[in-house]
Amino acid sequence: MPKVYMTLEEARKLLPDVKEKLLKLRKVQKAIAIVEDIDIEYEKPCYEYVELDLDLNKRFYKLNFLFFRYLDELHKKGVVIKDLEEGLVDFYSKKGNKEIYFCWKLGEKNIEFWHDEESGFEERKSVKELGLKRVKQ
C-alpha cells in the first residue's frame, strides 16, 4: 500500500478517529491474550468440551479479525502505529523533498512534534520549528 502523505492539519483532523481505534486495538489485544491463555484439559472427549473449544476458537478468530480490521483502517488513512502499548503513532509528511513524520502519543491533546526518518520519538522536535502556519481549530 502506498504511503499517504498529509499536512499537519490533515493529521490533526484524524486524531479523534485514531484515538478511538487505538483504544479499541489495545482492548482487543488484551482480549486476545486472555483467550490465548485459556488451556482446557479434559480426560476424555465429550460434547461439552468440544463445544467449549469451538466457542473459544470462534472468539479468538473474531478478535483477531477485529484487531486487523482496525489496524487496516488506520493504515489506509496513513497512520503508522509505532508502539500500540504506548499509543505512539506517526503520520507521513514531507518537508520539501525530505520525508518526515508527525509524531503523536495517546494522551497528548494535539500533534505538536515531528521527527525525520533517522530519528525517533526521543529526538522529536516541535512542529513550530517547521514554520507552518497554524489553522484555527
CA distance 59 to 28: 11
Would you state the pLDDT for residue 133? 52
CA distance 114 to 125: 5
Q: Measuring CA to CA, how many Å separate 81 from each of 4, 19, 26, 41, 129?
A: 14, 11, 12, 37, 24
Would you state the pLDDT for residue 49? 66
Rounded to two decimals, the pTM is 0.81
Task: Indicate the burial class of 5 (C-beta count within 10 angstroms; 0-12, 13-18, 19 or more).
Answer: middle
Would you state the pLDDT for residue 125? 87
CA distance 99 to 119: 12
* Encoded amino acid at 29, one letter: Q
**Domain residue limits, the chain:** 8-130
Which residue, chain included where needed, has cell 509505532?
82
What is the full per-residue pLDDT of the chain (137 aa) written as tens digits? Answer: 788 999 999 999 999 999 999 999 999 999 999 998 887 777 776 666 667 778 888 999 999 999 999 999 999 999 999 999 999 999 999 988 889 999 999 999 999 999 988 887 778 888 888 876 544 43
Tens digit of each residue's pLDDT (9 = 90 or more) over 78-90: 999 999 999 999 9
